[in-house]
Structure 1
Amino acid sequence: MMLRIDERDLRSKLNEHRSLIGYGSKGDGIANIVAGLFYIPTAWTFAELPMRARCLFAVLGVVIIALGVASIVCKGLTSEKLYKEIESMNRRASSLIAVKDGMDALSNRYLTYYDEQWNCWFLPNHRSFDSYEEDKRKLSSYLSSEFKIPSDDFQMRFVGTATSTKFSTAHNEERTYDYRLYLASVIRIPDAWDAEGEFAIESKKCKWMTVDEMLNDRKIYAINRDVIQMLKDLI
């Protein structure tokens, strides 16, 4: 399996554990304790050594013993544990927006856009941010700038989360995705959005789709049936 991890996330993870890395194995710790115990009696056995040298040997022994104890007791991170934590970073955190006509309570259509790279219709989406407050704020800005909806013309709320592991057809490998779903109710629909079928929002090709229409689209079903199922279950 090939891991694709953001460099900033990897550096942050390694920095998080930097105090636990580098003490050596438990075997090294035991060896250090034995060596330290050897230094201390040695310091007082050789009477011909100057007092300063004997004190130095004793202090060195205590330091080596302390390092050995630290390796055994304080070391909480093994190479396997670190690998598992890095492996867990091989997840995609994505926030999705179900954009709905807020003026029609019975509407079951959601805004989708056509992604040229995937050749598929997607819900508006963006990489998730750490906190939900920041995530919601960034998504509101994204929806306004990319889909030209003034922030006063829609109301957004958090709906729920889902985790899905699936085969990525674009990357030819299995990936794990952590989804956050938001519902954006548009209270003033732009005139261009009233068109039947496809319409353009600047360079984006868009259209309204129901959940059933998404599930019946073979490309959407192959790539994002887990997303559509989450949409169906949570809203």
Structure 2
Amino acid sequence: MEASSLLLNTAELRLLLEKKRDKIGHTGAEGLSDVSSGFLFVITTLPVTYPTVFMLSGAQYKNFCLAIGGMIMLYGGYKLVKSQKSKYGHECLLEDIKNLDRTEHRHSLVALKDTFAAVPSKYLLYYDEKWKCWFFFSYRTAQNDDYGHVRKALSEQLGVPEKLVKVTWVADRVQTKQSPTGEKTYAHKLYSAKLSSFPEVVKDTAFTLSGTRYRWMTLQEMEKNPEIQKHNLDVVHFVEESL
């Protein structure tokens, strides 16, 4: 299961709904019922024989009824064509709302626990030299198949076969935080990851792979770490509340 989060300005959303209020609900099928009604009226009229009605013979009255049915179908066809030009169903509305999204960055976070331990209690973090801080695994959220994207990225980063990696979506959260270049808004998608087999080097309390430092830490250790308190405590709490 996956979900998406949007950061919206209420005033902008209200303006959009006000602007589109006359279009919302137009599915492009307006007039179809009239076409159907006119068609049914015509086919039920064709086999019927009518007596003289007022000054009209039966044949004339029948033709009059057929003309009415034809006009209903023509009117319905006109409405149907017109509605195609103003079609604005729920998918169109959803796309317009998405375009109001103020989220600056979308990242998929991965919480990998030490399930190789007798009592799993730690998560694997990597050290970011730019931030000077320990972080959970983080990858740019993919628009399509983010699950597969995260699974592949994690296997490559740890140097393990992708078939050994299991990833499960947990939760979404929009967070605003201070970065080295200023305040930014992040849409975080949290995944829980498991390895069916851990390389021996990955089991070490602290290790280095391809120039990147890694360390296993409990949530309590993270909360006491000064740099994590400064830069990433909101994510730690997100993981703590979600898992």
TM-score after normalising by structure 2: 0.57
Compared CA separation, residues 109 and 189, structure 1 to 2 (3 A)? same
Q: Which residue of 204, 219, 222 corresponds with 1:211?
A: 219
- Indicate which of 139, 148, 163 corresponds to 2:159: 148
Aligned residues with identical type, % of pairs: 27
Deviation digits for residues 89-122 of structure 1 (CA, Å, limit 9, x no counterpart): 4421110000113344731211111111111111
- Runs (5+) with no aligned partner, structure 1: 1-19, 21-73, 77-83
Q: Distance in 1 between matches of 2:219 and 2:187?
A: 20
- State the distance in 2 between where 1:114 and 1:215 align: 16
Provide, for residues 129-161 of structure 1, a one-character-per-residue CA deviation record: whole Å limited to 9, x for no partner: 224xx1010111111112212112222111111
Which sections of structure 2, spanning at least 5 residues, go unmatched? 1-18, 20-85, 89-96
Name the SS for the 2:123 alignment partner.
Answer: strand
Kindly report the root-mean-square deviation, in angstroms, between the aligned alpha carbons of the 2 structures. Answer: 2.9
**Residue in 2 that maps onto 1:192:** 201
Counterpart-to-counterpart distance in 1, 2:101 and 2:200: 45
2: distance between equivalents of 1:85 and 1:141?
27
Paired residue secondary structure (2:232): helix
Alpha-carbon distance in structure 2 between the residues aligned to 1:206 and 1:181: 19
- Richer in helix (by share): 1
Cα distance between partner residues in 2 of 1:94 and 1:144 = 17
| Alignment partner of 1:229 is 2:237 | yes
- Corresponding letter in the other structure for 1:146: Q
Q: Which residue of 1 aligns with 2:181?
A: 171
Q: Given that residues 100 and 111 in structure 1 are in contact (C-alpha distance below 8 angstroms), is that contact kept between their aligned partners in structure 2?
A: yes
Q: CA deviation at 1:86?
A: 6.4
Letter in 2 for 1:216: K
> In structure 2, do the counterparts of structure 1 residues 142 and 85 end up closer, same or farther at CA, with 3 Å as the change threshold?
closer
CA contact 1:101–1:187 (8 Å) conserved in 2: no
Distance 1:183 1:154, change over 3 A: same
What TM-score, normalized by structure 1, do the two folds share? 0.58
Residue pair 1:199, 1:207 contacting (<8 A) in 2 also? yes
From the CA coordinates, give the structure whose radius of gyration is larger: 2
The one-letter code of the counterpart of 2:105 is R
In structure 2, the CA distance between the partners of 1:231 and 1:105, relative to structure 1 (3 Å rule), is farther
**Higher RCO (Cα < 8 Å, 6 or more apart):** 2
Equivalent position SS for 1:188: coil
